[in-house]
Chain A
Amino acid sequence: MSDPASPRSDTFGPDLAEVFGPSHSDGGPDLVQLLTPEGERVHHPEFDHDFSAEELRGLYRDMVLTRRIDVEATALQRHGELGIWAQLLGQEAAQIGAGRALRPQDYVFPTYREHGVAYCRGVDPLRLLGLFRGVDQGGWDPTENNFGLYTIVIGAQTLHATGYAMGMQRDGVVGTGDPERDAAVIAHFGDGASSQGDVNEAFIFAASYNAPVVFFCQNNQWAISEPIERQTRIPLYQRALGFGFPGIRVDGNDVLATYAVTRAALQRAREGNGPSFVEAYTYRMGAHTTTDDPTRYRLNDELEHWKLKDPIERLKVYLRRNGLVDQEFFDDLDAEAKELGHHLREGCKALPDPEPLDQFGYVFSEMTDEIAAQRDEFAAYLASFEGSHS
């Protein structure tokens, strides 16, 4: 039996080696890029934006702080303060570019790795730790920042996003021409999720109802140990056409391009022109989670190659080269990152454990007699140990 992922030699389909290139491919000719890995500003005929110096410094700051969140959380896991952490190292530009393209009235459906987007939405990063520490399963109010709860079942949230967008249509907040009113949804997912039925159903529903949703796929090349070639035989962004809406591949390590492309996609959705698919071509520099060991399945070569495309470094080079920052900016940011780290370290350790009886709360909007009886019985059982010594 031939390996289905091996390059084909028949005349019916494209040669996979040609389609994908090596696993450290540059993303191909359709990749939208505004800032090269070397920090050179390039222009794109369709997707561009005139970034002010303040915007550029802001995006840089966002990425640095997001990386700090990730580094601190990873360290907290190593110290036993978190059970697990899903790292985003390397995906800062993809998340900040997408997160900053949003308006307050837009709504975000994240996976469990969208720490940078959460930060953009104003969710206290400390809130993200609860799920990974095991003190809650999503410690923020999704209605407060229009940032949904982390969804662990791969791809399930893309349907929620589509339904939410259909709700927006019914609320008359799509295509009114009022920028304060018109809204859209962004659904985050990864390359692995693109194989899920739910994601494909979400594409179909969104297309069928012309729902204002942007499907934002961070193709970080790896679904735990499985390379992108195991999920798809064509570049992911090309799938969109088959569902009837546009797909764009953007350099996900280029915060400027990701911002510009996502902004355009969201605007298109808000204006009532329907869904679109953004493939942010990026790389998972870290492990899938802190329990994963990428040395078992990928070459260090590849990692070294992607290190040269670091999303933060290239913007730093650009800012410096163009005299848009001084040493004070970096010093201030460093102090801010340190403060954030302190907040996370101290805050994490201070997160209270839930009480044993808390597990009975919130199964329903109001407690049922059945669950109340189980709670009371368990409370009496626990109370029976009071005063006794084991």
Chain B
Amino acid sequence: MTSKITLAKGLNMGLRKAMEDDDKVLLMGEDVGKLGGVFRITDGLQKDFGEDRVIDSPLAESGIVGTAVGMALRGYRPVVEIQFDGFVYPAYDQIVCQVAKYTYRSQGKVKMPIVIRIPFGGGIGAVEHHSESPEAQFAHTPGLKVVACSNPVDGYWMIQQAIAHDDPVIFLEPKRQYHADKAELDESATPEPLFTSRVVRAGSDATVLAYGPTVKTALKCAEAAESEGRSLEVIDLRTLSPLDMAPVYESVRRTGRCVVTHEAHVNLGMGAELAARVTEQCFYSLEAPVLRVGAFDTPYPPSRIEEEYLPDLDRVLDAVDRTFAY
């Protein structure tokens, strides 16, 4: 069966399917019940699965994640929603010290099948704390897996795969894509494994690495570059921890040039790790240093100038151009 869906719908359908498939799956978060979440990702789920499985929580993020740890210890598979990226920090201690370490601490006797959904990234004209990209802070933490979906079809499959996975997954959703583009979903298809990157556009002159909201930007860049006679390969990383570097190395060894783009700060961001790894493994193939396009090392600005802050088509293309200047 196929249908045209948005990312919000894909995630909603994926959550529904996961709950149908396994009655140990619970959803918890602020306003996820009757309201269906502030982005409506859990729309209708409480009505169909009841208040015991779709739990409106008190307004306390550490409490949400901390109780999810207890539920996981009891054999449940909690999926918690952090309402906005900038509100995850009260739960940071529970995520980093407990969720990430319980399996290690117990020498594998305890599993932590918890999914922490975080709408991330900017571009929605929001106030402070509603547009952040904290992925590197979680990817830096051993014991957590971190993935980012970029499109409706991946949203549908990746959320189910993350829920079925036995380790904790930080699941990043590009909030500005929630209700944007529609894509054709074939529910009978077989999805790729969760922790894999994917070449989303083949090219031969330079490789652009992106994830979450910047995949769309990178694809637009590739179109624009093509009209100028330059062929860009775009890779949607999808998984940020662990990284799936094989397709990246294969690509960069062919193209000799690599640009990474993300909305997060450049300093010590995912791009830094990607650049280091690509340099280490593709050293003799590189025609230019790996360049990074991301946010400046400033706090997220007032929204009226956020378009001057977020990496856009021109800034990514500019970086691509610079790799040809070496």
Chain A residues in contact with chain B, CB under 8 A? 109, 136-139, 141-143, 148-149, 151, 153, 156, 158-171, 197-198, 201-202, 204-205, 208, 361-366, 368-370
Contacts and interface: CB of A to CB of B under 8 A. Distances in A.
A163 B68 contact: yes
A159 B109 contact: no
10 contacts: A138-B106, A142-B73, A142-B106, A149-B106, A159-B63, A160-B73, A166-B67, A202-B63, A205-B58, A363-B103
Contacts of B68: 163
Given A198-B63, A205-B67, 11 more contacts: A143-B110, A149-B110, A159-B94, A163-B66, A163-B67, A163-B74, A164-B74, A165-B70, A198-B93, A202-B63, A364-B167
B97 interface: yes
Contact of A167 (B71, B94, B104, B106): B71
Nearest to A152: B97
Interface in B125-181: 142-143, 145, 166-167
Given A166-B67, A201-B62, A142 B109 contact: yes
Given A202-B63, A364-B145, A137 B73 contact: no
B105 A204 contact: no
B294 to A, nearest CB: 23
A167 B28 CA distance: 13
Interface residues of B, number: 43
B185 interface: no
Interface in B50-91: 52, 57-58, 60, 62-63, 65-76, 78, 90
Contacts of A171: 74
B303 interface: no
B167 A153 contact: no
A334 B68 CA distance: 45
Contacts of B279: none
A163 B71 contact: yes
A368 B244 CA distance: 11
Contact of A164 (B52, B57, B70, B166): B70
Given A156-B66, A363-B142, A365-B166, A204 B107 contact: no
Which of B52, B60, B70: most chain A CB closer than 10 A? B70
B70 A204 contact: no
Given A167-B75, A198-B66, A201-B63, A362 B107 contact: yes
Nearest to B111: A365
Given A164-B71, A198-B94, A365-B108, A204 B60 contact: yes
Nearest to B145: A364
Contact of A142 (B52, B110, B143, B166): B110
B242 interface: yes
B98 interface: yes
B15 interface: no
B74 A168 contact: yes
Interface in B189-234: 195
A349 B69 CA distance: 34
A156 B243 contact: no
A201 B66 contact: yes
B103 A160 contact: no
Contacts of A139: 107
A374 B111 CA distance: 22
A156 B92 CA distance: 12
A168 B75 CA distance: 10
Contacts of A370: 242-243
Nearest to A213: B70
A201 B90 CA distance: 11
A153 B98 contact: yes
Given A137-B104, A141-B109, A153-B97, A198 B71 contact: no
B108 A143 contact: no
A69 B241 CA distance: 43
Contacts of B242: 368-370
Contacts of A365: 103, 108, 111, 166-167
9 tightest A-B CB contacts, nearest first: A163-B70, A159-B66, A167-B74, A163-B67, A201-B63, A164-B70, A365-B166, A160-B70, A362-B108
Given A164-B73, A370-B242, A143 B94 contact: no
Contacts of B106: 138, 141-142, 149, 362
A138 to B, nearest CB: 5
A159 B61 CA distance: 11
Contacts of A156: 66, 93-94, 97-98
A156 B166 CA distance: 22
A153 B91 CA distance: 13
A365 B143 CA distance: 10
Nearest to A150: B105
A164 B69 CA distance: 8
A198 to B, nearest CB: 6
Nearest to B96: A153
A208 B58 contact: yes
Contacts of B57: 205
B63 A362 contact: no
A296 B285 CA distance: 64
Contacts of A366: 166
A159 B67 contact: yes
A204 B58 contact: yes
Contacts of B70: 109, 159-167
